[in-house]
Chain A
C-alpha cells in the first residue's frame, strides 16, 4: 500500500510547479480551502493530513514516534517520496513550519523553498532570553482542556471511563467533525508542538524562506517572528496587518499575493 494512503493525500490542479501545504496543530488539510483557490489554476497543490489527524489513518499512530516533530517530518517526507517530489514549494502553518524545517534538513532535494505561515521555533518561554509566549502550566492547562472538550464532543463516556482503546464507531463519529481527533493523538501532537525547541536548527536551514507573520498572534508574537528571521539564513519577513494565528484562513488573498511575489523573485 502506498504510504500516502495513510496520509489522505489530495492533489488539486496541475502545473509545472508543485506546492505542498502542511496543516498545523489542531485541524487538518481543510484549513487550506481558503488559500488553495489562489494556486490551483496554475499549480499542482498537494494536501495531506498528518497521521491521526483529519481522515488520515490512525492505525499507524504510535505515541513514541509522534512524540517529537521528527515523526511528523517523516510523514511529510513519506508523502514527498510517494509522489516522487523534487523542488516543491512547501507552504506550512504553525507547528508545521518547524516540521518542514526538520524535513528540509533531512532531505533537502524535496523542496525548492518554503513559505512559513505564523512560524515559531519554540512556543515555550526559555528564560532569560527567549520569550516563546507560554509556560509549562499553560501547556498542562491546554492538555486538560483537550480532554474536557473531547469528553464533551464525544458524548460517550464508555471508553473514557474504561480506558479502552477507542473503537472504530467512535472514531467514525468524530472524524465527521472538522478539527476533532482522538484525544491521545491530539494531545501527543500538542505536547510535541509545545515541547519542541528547534531554535538551534534555524541557522542550518538551506532553503529560501518566506516568513508570514501576523501583527498580533498569541502563538507567535512579532518578536518571535523577528527572532526567526534573524536566525534563519536567506529568509524574508512579511508582517500581515492582522490578528490571529490563521492568516491563511483569515487573509488568504494577502497570503497568496505574498507567496506569489516570493515565488516570482525566487524562480
Chain B
C-alpha cells in the first residue's frame, strides 16, 4: 500500500531548526515537480522564493524560536520548473526527543487570487479616500486649504501651542475693492485676482504658517509660535509681495486684521477669528491697504 502521508492532498515537511529537511512527502513530487528523495538533507531555502526566504528569516523563524508555532501563514514555494507556488502552512516546533519543525502545507492558488483582488480593492478605496480627502480640504479656485481645512489645522495648532506654551497669531485678510474688479472687469478678472493673491500668500508663508481661503475674497492665516512682532512682520511680507501683483492694470491691495493668543491664553478659534475680524474692519475704516492689530483696548495700527 502507498504510505498514507504520500496520499495526502497537501505537503508534509519535517525540518530541523537548523533548516535541514528531514522528511518530505510525495506532494513535493506530484504537485511541485521536485525530487522528494533528493530533498532530504537539503536546506529549506531551496524550496522558497527569495521573498519567501526573507519572510522565513524575518517572521517564521523568529516565531518558531519565540513561540514554537506559526499559524496559517502564506508564502511561495518554488516548483521544480522555477515558478512560484502560493501555499498556506501551519508550523509546529516539537522539542523532544529532538527539536524538529513539522509543516502542514496546502496549495493556495485560488486564495491567493482572492487576496490579490482584496489588496487591490483596498488600494483603490484608499487612493479614492485620499483623493476625496484632498478635494474636501482644498479650495478649488486657488488650490489652498479651504475653511474646513483651515479650522482643522488652526485647532490643531491651538492645542499644540497649549501644550508647548507657545503663542498663536491669527490674521484675517480681505482683498480691497474686490467687488469693483468683478463689476468693472468681469468675474474672470475677479477669479484671476483671487488665484494670484492665493499664490502670493502661499509663497510668503513658511513652515508653521497655515494660510487658507475662507470664502469670497476673505483669507486667513494661523501663525504658530508668533507674537505681535512676528505677525506684523508676516503682514508686511504680504503687503510688500503684493506690489508686484497687477491685474487688468490695477494694483491689488489687502487689509489685514491681527489678533494674538499669548501663551496660556484661553480664547478658542471662533473668538479669535471674531477679534481678527474686528481688527480687519478697523483696517478697512483706516483707509485699507494696511494692518490693524486687535488688543484689549481696541484696534491699534500695526507698523
- The answer on a CB contact under 8 Å between A163 and B126 is yes
- The answer on a CB contact under 8 Å between B65 and A179 is no
CA separation between A63 and B52, bound complex, in Å? Answer: 24
**A153 — which chain B residues lie within 8 A by C-beta?**
72
**A31 in contact (CB, < 8 A):** yes
> In the assembled complex, how far is the CB of residue B154 from the closest CB belonging to chain A, in whole angstroms?
20
- The answer on a CB contact under 8 Å between A145 and B51 is yes
B67 partner, pick from A94, A178, A219, beta carbons under 8 A: A178
CA separation between A245 and B76, bound complex, in Å? Answer: 19
* Range of interface residues on B (Cβ < 8 Å): 35 or more
- The answer on a CB contact under 8 Å between B50 and A149 is no
- The answer on a CB contact under 8 Å between B112 and A148 is yes
> In the assembled complex, how far is the CB of residue B122 from the closest CB belonging to chain A, in whole angstroms?
5
Mark interface residues in B133-162 (1 if CB within 8 Å of A CB, else 0). 000000000000000000000000000000
**A152 — which chain B residues lie within 8 A by C-beta?**
72-74, 88
**A11 in contact (CB, < 8 A):** no
B58 partner, pick from A27, A135, A141, A161, beta carbons under 8 A: A27
A250 partner, pick from B59, B65, B112, B126, beta carbons under 8 A: B65
Mark interface residues in B1-36 (1 if CB within 8 Å of A CB, else 0). 000000000000000011100000000000000000
For window 79-106 of B, CB contacts with A under 8 Å fall at: 84, 88
The CB with the most chain A CB atoms within 10 A, among B45, B52, B115, is that of B115
For window 148-169 of A, CB contacts with B under 8 Å fall at: 148-149, 151-153, 157, 160-163
A163 partner, pick from B54, B56, B74, B125, beta carbons under 8 A: B125
**B72 — which chain A residues lie within 8 A by C-beta?**
152-153
- The answer on a CB contact under 8 Å between A26 and B17 is no
**B63 in contact (CB, < 8 A):** yes
- The answer on a CB contact under 8 Å between A30 and B66 is yes
- The answer on a CB contact under 8 Å between A27 and B50 is no
B62 partner, pick from A144, A157, A178, beta carbons under 8 A: A178
**A243 in contact (CB, < 8 A):** yes
**A178 — which chain B residues lie within 8 A by C-beta?**
62-63, 66-67
**B107 in contact (CB, < 8 A):** no
Number of residue pairs A-B, CB distance < 8 angstroms: 118
**B224 in contact (CB, < 8 A):** no
**A24 in contact (CB, < 8 A):** yes
**A244 in contact (CB, < 8 A):** yes
CA separation between A162 and B121, bound complex, in Å? Answer: 9
> In the assembled complex, how far is the CB of residue B83 from the closest CB belonging to chain A, in whole angstroms?
12
- The answer on a CB contact under 8 Å between A218 and B53 is yes
- The answer on a CB contact under 8 Å between A142 and B54 is yes
**A246 in contact (CB, < 8 A):** yes
**B247 in contact (CB, < 8 A):** no
- The answer on a CB contact under 8 Å between B57 and A138 is no
**B234 in contact (CB, < 8 A):** no
For window 172-218 of A, CB contacts with B under 8 Å fall at: 178-179, 216-218
Closest to B56 in A: A218
CA separation between A8 and B117, bound complex, in Å? Answer: 36
- The answer on a CB contact under 8 Å between B62 and A26 is yes
- The answer on a CB contact under 8 Å between B19 and A243 is yes
CA separation between A163 and B17, bound complex, in Å? Answer: 38
Q: A27-B59, A141-B84 are in contact. List 17 more A-B contacts (CB 8 A).
A: A26-B59, A135-B50, A141-B52, A144-B119, A145-B55, A145-B76, A147-B119, A149-B55, A149-B73, A151-B119, A152-B88, A163-B126, A219-B54, A244-B57, A245-B61, A246-B62, A246-B65
3 closest cross-chain pairs (CB), A and B = A26-B58, A163-B125, A141-B51
29 A-B Cβ contacts within 8 A? A27-B59, A27-B66, A31-B62, A138-B51, A141-B51, A141-B52, A141-B76, A147-B119, A148-B112, A149-B74, A151-B118, A152-B72, A152-B73, A160-B118, A160-B119, A160-B122, A161-B121, A163-B129, A178-B66, A179-B59, A179-B66, A216-B43, A217-B57, A218-B53, A243-B18, A243-B43, A246-B57, A246-B62, A249-B61
Which residues in B have some Cβ–Cβ distance to A below 8 Å? 17-19, 43, 45, 49-59, 61-63, 65-67, 72-76, 84, 88, 112, 115-116, 118-119, 121-122, 125-126, 128-129
